[in-house]
Chains A and B, each alone.
Chain A
C-alpha cells in the first residue's frame, strides 16, 4: 500500500508568481484535502476534493484553486503569491467522503515566497 506523496519537497517563489503543488493519494482513497500550516500553527483547511469535484472550502481567497484527476491525485494552485503564503502545504487523503475525518497525511511541501 503506497502512502500519500507530495511534490516538490521544497519550493522558493517570488511574490506575484504562480505555483502548483502536487499530491498523490493513498491507494484506494478518493477524497483529498489540502491544508496550509504556517509556522507555529495547526493546519488550516483550504479545500477538499471528492471524485474530481470541490467538496468544501475554508477561508481562502479564490487565488487558491485546485483540481482532482480521475486517478484521484490532486493539484493545489496558488496565483499572485504573497509573502504570507509562505508555509507548509499538506495534502491528506481519505477512503471516501463519509470517512473524510480519517485522514492520511503526506509529508508536505515547504513553500517560501520572497
Chain B
C-alpha cells in the first residue's frame, strides 16, 4: 500500500527566507510524485511534478528514491507563497494518494 507523510502541519517563515516542506513516501512500485497547492479561497491545483524537473514559481522538488523523499524547496519565500501544500503520490493503478498537507505562512 502507498503512503505519503508530511511531518509538518504548520510552517512559518519570514519573507526572503528559504522554505522547505518535507514529504516522505512509501510505495513498492515506481512512484510518480507531485506537489499540489491550495491558495486562500482557491481550488486545489497542481504545482509541480517530479518527472518534469521544472521550477514553478521558484519552487523545486527532487525525488530521492534512496530516502523515499520529495521535499519542496524555495530559496526566497514570498508572501504570496502562503498556502496549503499537499504532496501526492501516483501509483500504477491511477490512484493519487495525498499527504495530510502543510500550511505555510510567510511573514513580512
Chain A contact residues, CB within 8 Å of chain B: 3-4, 33, 35, 40-45, 48, 55-56, 58, 90, 92, 97, 100-107
Contact yes or no, A101 B96, CB < 8 A:
yes
Given contacts A101-B32, A101-B34, contact A58 B95 (CB under 8 A): yes
Contacts of B86 in A (CB 8 A): 42-43
Please, which residue of chain A has its CB at the minimum distance from the CB of B38?
A105
Q: Which single member of A33, A42, A107 contacts B101 (CB below 8 Å)? A: A42
Q: How far is the CA of A58 from the CA of B95 in the complex (A)?
A: 8
Q: How far is the CA of A43 from the CA of B43 in the complex (A)?
A: 13
Q: How far is the CA of A100 from the CA of B93 in the complex (A)?
A: 10
Interface members, chain B 71-98 (any A CB < 8 Å): 86, 88, 90, 93-98
Contact yes or no, A45 B101, CB < 8 A:
no
Contacts of B93 in A (CB 8 A): 56
Please, which residue of chain B has its CB at the minimum distance from the CB of A108?
B43
Q: How far is the CB of B77 from chain A (nearest CB, A)?
A: 22
Chain B contact residues, CB within 8 Å of chain A: 4, 6, 32, 34, 43-46, 49, 86, 88, 90, 93-101
A-B contact pairs, 9 of them (CB 8 A): A42-B4, A42-B6, A45-B95, A45-B96, A48-B94, A56-B93, A101-B32, A101-B96, A106-B43
Contact yes or no, B94 A105, CB < 8 A:
no
Known: A44-B98, A56-B94. 16 other contacts (CB 8 A): A4-B43, A41-B100, A42-B4, A42-B86, A42-B101, A43-B86, A45-B96, A48-B95, A56-B95, A90-B44, A100-B96, A101-B49, A101-B88, A104-B45, A105-B44, A106-B43
Q: How far is the CA of A106 from the CA of B42 in the complex (A)?
A: 10
Q: How far is the CA of A104 from the CA of B96 in the complex (A)?
A: 13
Please, which residue of chain B has its CB at the minimum distance from the CB of A107?
B43
Contacts of B94 in A (CB 8 A): 48, 55-56, 97, 100
Q: How far is the CB of A81 from chain B (nearest CB, A)?
A: 23
Contact yes or no, A33 B98, CB < 8 A:
no
Q: How far is the CB of A52 from chain B (nearest CB, A)?
A: 15
Q: How far is the CA of A18 from the CA of B43 in the complex (A)?
A: 27
